[in-house]
Each structure stands twice: as C-alpha cells, then as structure tokens.
Amino acid sequence: MSARLNVNIDHVATVRQARRAPEPSVVAAAMMCEQAGADGITIHLRGDRRHIIDNDLHALRQVVTTYLNVEMAATEEMLKIALDTLPDAVTLVAENPDEITTEGGLDVRSNLSVVRAAVSRFREANIISSLFIDPDPQQIEAAHEAGAQQVELCTAEYADATLGARANHTEGAMRAAQELRRLREAATLAKQYGLHVAAGHGLTYRNVGAVAAIAEIQEFNIGHNIVSRSIFIGLADAVREMREAIERQG
C-alpha cells in the first residue's frame, strides 16, 4: 500500500494574496484535490499570514472531508486557534518571520517543555500531534519524549541535492544518496519509537519515488511542486501525477 498524499495548498493562497482578491479560492482548490485522489489537505497558518489566513482555516474545516493537517508554530496564539477549529492534525514547525519558506526542522530537544505542553493540549482535544523535524536521531528521541504521535521528516537537504544539474554530478548524486540514507535510518528509528512517519519539503515528481520506497514513511505533505505543475496541466491532473509518482516508488 502506498503512502498517503496530503496536498499543501498554501501557494494557491499566495496567488490570491498577491492581489488581495477573492480568487483563486483555497476552498475550491481543496475540494478539487480531494476529488482527484488526495488523502488530505495541508495548510500552514503563519504568524505573518502571508498566504493562508484565519478565515481559510475556518472555511476549510467546514468543507474538507478527508483529513485536514495544519502546520503552525508553537505559540499561544496558534495553539488557541487550533483548539478552536479542531483540525484532524497539527504539525508544529520552526518559523522565522524573515524566511522565504520553512528553513529546517523544529529543534524539539532545545524546546522540549514548550513542545510537550503543546502536544498535551492537542492530545486532550483529540488532535493528532505531529512534529516537523530534521532526520536526526536526537530530534526523533525528543519527539517521542514530548509525546508526539507523528514526526514529519524534513526532506529539504535531499531535495536540494536532486535539483537540476546538481543531480547529474557525482557530488550531487553522492549527497542525495547520503541524505536518502539519513531519511531511511530516521524513519526506521521513528517507527521503533512507535511514531507514525511522514515526510515533506521540496519534493517533486522527479525525486519523490526514492523517498516513497522507504516503507516506514506513511504520509507525504507536498505543495509547491503540485501547485506549480497545475499552472500547466490543471490542479486535478497535477495531484494525480504526484499520486502516481509516489506509487511508482523510484
């Protein structure tokens, strides 16, 4: 059985926010993704509201029929929003106001008490708690100590090594193989701790197969590449193509 695919629709909202216009609708995008075979919808509600805004979350909670995963920082503001809207899952992420996109995994080890408290509140509300972390054994151990139910392994380093000309150079290929090994070992360790394992960040149709071949990875959260591809072939077909790329596994 292939891993689940949650489609991140943040960048549908990015296009809308460029003009502060009503379109494109993230609700329509979510419904189309579900109809095309997505197993869930992922959004990131950032502190600066650069794409997804509060109204989007409330609207999506009403219409998403599969699985709604909300990425957010572990701030009191965000925790209150999550507990008010009750998504199916919350993924805690590191967040820097000046970053273009999420730059790496959450340092759970250094923020253990904060993360543990947030996870406890989510679990009391029957919200699945997930932590977006680098594929590092210490972070996986800390995620387990915090009581999380899932980790999402950051695939940014692997994805970067597979981009463009770098993928065809010996150095790039070696780096990609090294990062793939890190992901495989991290997924195995997380599974041993009883954690569900997801993965995401920077994955594309061209590089997702090797990660999907890691049996312990049960879920992918992919957005930018799907939305980019949708410009040329439409959103439904873009979702189907990614679904097929995951199922091919390499």
pLDDT tens by residue, 25-68: 999 999 999 999 999 999 999 999 999 999 999 999 999 999 99
| Domain range summary for the chain, segments of one domain joined by + | 4-248
| Dist CA 76 CA 149 (whole Å) | 20
pLDDT category, 77, cuts 50, 70, 90? very high
Average pLDDT value for the chain: 94
Question: Domain 4-248, what fold?
Answer: TIM Barrel (3.20.20)
Active site residues: 44, 71, 201
- Rounded distance between C-alpha atoms, residue 94 and residue 133, angstroms: 9
Q: What is the pTM of this model?
A: 0.94
**What is the DSSP code (8-state) at residue 151?**
E
Amino acid 47: pLDDT = 94
Are 106 and 93 in contact by the 8 Å Cβ rule? The answer is: yes
Report the percentage of the chain scoring pLDDT > 70: 94
Q: What is the pLDDT of residues 91-129, one digit of tens each?
A: 999 987 666 666 689 999 999 999 999 999 999 999 999
Does the pLDDT value for residue 146 go beyond 60?
yes
Residue 163: pLDDT band with limits 50, 70, 90: confident
Q: Tell me what pLDDT residue 166 has.
A: 55
CA distance 90 to 113: 17
Band (pLDDT 50/70/90 cuts) for residue 2 is confident
* Cβ neighbour number for residue 130 with a 10 Å cutoff: 28
Contact 120, 79 (CB under 8 A): no
Mean pLDDT over 18-27 rounds to 95
Scored b (16 or more CB within 10 A) or e, 169-200 reads eeebeebbeebbebbbebbebbbeeebbbbbb
pLDDT at 161: 92
In the predicted structure, residue 24 carries a pLDDT above the cut 70: yes
DSSP string, 12-26: HHHHHHHHT-S-S-H
